[in-house]
Structure 1
Amino acid sequence: MTKMIHRGVGSWTIKDFISRLPDAVLGSIVSLLPTKDGARTQSVSRRWRPLWRSAPLNLVADRELMRKDQSSIGLIKKILSEHQGPGRHFSVFIYDRSNRVKGWLNSKALDNLQELELTYDRWLELKLPSSMYRFAPTLRVAKFSGCHFSNFIVQLSLKFPCLKQLTLDRVTISEDAFQSMLSGCSALESLELKAIFGFARLCISSQTLKSVGFCTDQRTERVPAQELVIEDTPCLERFLQLDPMYDRVTIRVISAPNLKILGVISDFITELHFGTTVFKKLIAVCLTTKIYTMRVLVLQSDGPNLDTVVNFLKCFPSLESLCVIFRSITWSLTDMDNVREYDPLDPIEFLELHLKKVVLKNYDGTRSACTNFAKFFVLNAKVLKEMKITLRYHRRDGWFARQRHLLQIRNRASKDAQIELKCGATDYFADNRHTHFSMADPFDGMPSRGCSKCSCGPF
C-alpha cells in the first residue's frame, strides 16, 4: 500500500507502507505471483531485491515456455540453481525424452515442495521419475498427466500425509499402485480421475474424500477403466462426471451416506447404481431405495423425456437444485410432446417441498416438447425460487413475449419464483467443472445479465 502525503503547495510525497511489512509477509506475497512477476519484484527497490530469492518458489514452465527456445530451459535451470527459498509450486510441461526434468526435481530449491504438476506430451508415455516421490511427505496438491506410474509406490508403501488434491489425467497405473497411493493419502479431500489406463475397475475407499470427478476417454485407441465403484466414502459430498458425452461406464455407489451433489448424469451411462437401486439410461430397472441426501443434480440428454426425468428424480425426494442440459441434436430426433398431467393425489415430494432452483441449458422454445418440459416445472414446483433458461441463439423481442404465454408464467405454482431467459452460447458443461473447489453448486455458471441484442431477462 502506498499513500500520497501533502507537504505543502505543489508538493506531494509517496509513502510506501508495504515495504515496511516483515520479510516473511512480503515473501508470502511474492510467492503467490506468477513466476515472471515474482522475479520482477527484484527491481522494485533495494528493500525488495533479496525477497524473491528467499521467498517460497513459484515456478511454472508451461507448454508455451518449454517449446519456445533453449534459453527458456536455461533460465529454469538458473532459477533452480540460485533460488534459496523453499519450494511452494512447480509446474512443468515435458515435451521430449531428455532427463533434464529428473535433475530439476532433485534441485534443493524444490525441497519441501507443496504443489507439483507434471504434464507429459501425449505421444511420450514415459514413466514418472522416481525423484518425484521425495516430495511425498510435503505435497498438498498434485497433478500428473500423460505418464506411467511404476509399482515403486507399492514397494515402498509411500505415504502422502498432507496431500489434499490429486489429479490423474491420461495416466497408466496398476491396480495395486493406485490402491497403494490412495491408501497413503490420509488427508485427501478432492480426487479427479480422467482416462485411467491399466485396469478396468476403479474402486475408491477413503475416509476423508469430499469430492470426486471422473471421466473416461472413449476417443482413444486404448481402453480406459470401464467401471467406477464408490465403495466406502463417509465424507463424500460431490460426485462429478466430467465428460458425459463420451462416457460409456458403469458407476456403482455402494456407500456414500453424505452425497449431496451429483452430475453430469447422462443417458450415455451404461448403468448407475445406488446401493441396490439400478438405473439404465436414467430408467430405474430396480428401485429399492431412495437417496434422501441429494440436493443438487445435473442431467444431460438428447430428449430429455419428461416422464423419464421425473421418474428418475423421484428417487431423490429432497432435491433442491436441478440443471438439465439439452444436447444440440435434441429435438430433431424425437416425436415426444412431453405432456404430463400432475396428479395432486399422487404428490411428488421434491416438487411439493424442496425444489427451489431449476436451470435449463441449450433450450429451444421453438419445439413444443422443449416448452412443455419447462412448463411442467413452472406449474408444479411449489417452492421454486428461481428458474434460469439459456438459449443457443439470439431471438427477436416478440419471441420472449410468446414464451411467457407458452410457459404460463402467470399460473406458476410458486408466486415467488423468478423466471428468466438468457441468450448465449451452447453449453456442454465443459466450462463448469469444479472438482477441486468447494462450491455449494459447482454447476452454477449462469450469467446474471441478459444480452444487449434482445429483450431477454426476467419475466
Structure 2
Amino acid sequence: MRSFSLSALRCAPTLRIVSICTCYLPEIYANSMLLFPQLKKLMLYDVYICKAANIDRLFNRCIVLEALHLEGVHGFTHLNIHMPNLRKISVASYWKRNTTELIQLDTVQIMDASCLERLVICVHDVPLLIQVANAPKLMVLGFASYPGCQLVIGRINFLRMMPISLEHSLCTVKNLFLKSDGPSLDQLLAFLRCFPCTEKLYIKFYRTGDKVHVLHNEPACPIECLDLHVKEILISDYRGRRNDVIVSRFFMQNTRMLKVMKFGVTNYHNKIWWDTQFKCLDLKNTASRDVDFQFGYLPSLDKFSLDGVRSCLIHDLSVADPFAREIYARFGPISA
C-alpha cells in the first residue's frame, strides 16, 4: 500500500471534494497537515491511517463537511465524529483477506446529528457499533448488516436488526433499505415498527446457507407504516424459495396503501418457473386495490458499493431517492 503523497496537500485550502483511495496515511499528515477548511465531501476507500494519529481531530477539523464516506478504513478502533453540518454519512466495513494484523474499526459515534438526512451502513463479517445522537432530520436509512452489527439512533437500539426496546420510534424516515437475514419476517417487522412513517421499502435477502428462519404469519400488533404509509416495495434477489414467497405474500396482504411492488431476480428463468411463482404469490390476494406488480432482472449488486447503491448517489442531494435512482435504473424486463 503506497503512502499518501505530500503534493496532494498543495490545494487543500481550496478543495471542496476529496477522495483518498488505497493508501497509507502517516501520523504526521493526520495530526498536523491535513486541513480542508472548504471541504464539503470526503470519501475514504481502503485507507490505513496510523493508529498513533489523532483520527478524531482529522475529521473534526473539516468544519463545513456535509458528506462523509468510509469504506474499508483501518488503523484505529474508535471514531468520534462531531460535525454539526454533516448531512450524509455512509459506512462500509468488511474483513480484508490476508490482512489479519490490521486494526479494525469497531465503533463509530456521531456526536452531533442535528443536520443528518441520510445514513447508510453496510457491514460484512466484522462486528461494528454505529451510534448516532438524536437525528431529527433523518429521512433516508440503509442498513445492510452482518449479524454482529449494532445500530443505535437516539434511544432506538438495534442488535442484528432486532430492536432491544419497542418504546421509541423515529417518524422522520421515509425511505428504508434493509438487508434481511435469512430472510426473516420477524426481523423485518421488528425493524419496521420503529419507523412508522416509512413510504418506500427496499428489501434484499442476506442468504445464510440453507438455514430456515421461523416466520410468523401474523404480527403481534398492527404495524403503522404498513397500515398507513408504505406505497412502494422492492424485493431484490428474489429466488422463489419458500421463505421468499412467505415474506412477499405477507407484505402484499398487509400493506394497505401499496401502489407498486417490484420483484428483482439475478438469474434468468423459463416460463414454467415464472408461472409457478405467479401462482404461489397469489397476486390477486392483496390488501390494497390496483397494485402494480413488476418483475424484472437485476444484475448482481455486489460490484457496487453498499449493496447496490454507489456512494456518489448517497451523497448527491439532487437525487431525492438514491436507492431508486441506482437500483431501478438497472431493473430490466424479464425475458422467459
TM-score by length of 1: 0.65
> Is 1:211–1:239's contact at 8 Å kept on the other side of the alignment?
yes
2:20 corresponds, among 138, 144, 155, to 144
- In structure 2, give the amino acid aligned to 1:142: V
TM-score by length of 2: 0.87
> Is 1:325–1:360's contact at 8 Å kept on the other side of the alignment?
yes
Deviations 1:384-407 (A, max 9, x none): 121111123222223333323322
Deviations 1:45-79 (A, max 9, x none): xxxxxxxxxxxxxxxxxxxxxxxxxxxxxxxxxxx
In structure 2, the partner of 1:187 is: 64
- In structure 1, give the amino acid aligned to 2:179: Q
Which consecutive unaligned segments of at least 5 residues does structure 1 have? 1-121, 455-459
* Secondary structure in structure 1 of the residue aligned to 2:237: strand
Distance 1:168 1:404, change over 3 A: same
1:134 corresponds, among 10, 15, 24, to 10
Distance 2:78 2:107 in 1: 5
* Secondary structure in structure 2 of the residue aligned to 1:443: helix
In structure 2, the partner of 1:410 is: 284
- In structure 1, give the amino acid aligned to 2:138: L
Distance 2:52 2:199 in 1: 37
Distance 1:299 1:230, change over 3 A: same
Deviations 1:98-143 (A, max 9, x none): xxxxxxxxxxxxxxxxxxxxxxxx3x3x2x3444333221101111
In structure 2, the partner of 1:368 is: 242
Distance 1:278 1:342 in 2: 20
- The answer as to 2:164 corresponding to 1:288 is no
2:116 corresponds, among 209, 232, 236, to 236
Distance 2:270 2:216 in 1: 27
Structure possessing the higher relative contact order (Cα contacts under 8 Å, 6 or more residues apart):
2
- The answer as to 2:211 corresponding to 1:333 is yes
Distance 1:300 1:280 in 2: 14
1:317 corresponds, among 196, 211, 221, to 196
Distance 2:35 2:144 in 1: 34
- 1:290 shift after superposition: 0.6
In structure 1, the partner of 2:269 is: 395
- The answer as to 2:160 corresponding to 1:277 is no
Stretch of structure 1 that moved more, 316-325 or 261-270: 261-270
- In structure 1, give the amino acid aligned to 2:238: Y
2:182 corresponds, among 303, 309, 316, to 303
> Is 1:273–1:279's contact at 8 Å kept on the other side of the alignment?
yes
> How many residue pairs are counted as aligned between the two chains?
322
Distance 1:410 1:206, change over 3 A: same
In structure 2, the partner of 1:45 is: none
> What RMSD over aligned residues (CA atoms) do the two structures have, in Å?
2.4
* Secondary structure in structure 2 of the residue aligned to 1:180: helix
In structure 2, the partner of 1:162 is: 38
- In structure 1, give the amino acid aligned to 2:225: F
In structure 2, the partner of 1:255 is: 134
Distance 1:388 1:401, change over 3 A: same
Structure index of larger Rg: 1
Which consecutive unaligned segments of at least 5 residues does structure 2 have? none
Query: More helix by proportion, 1 or 2?
Result: 1
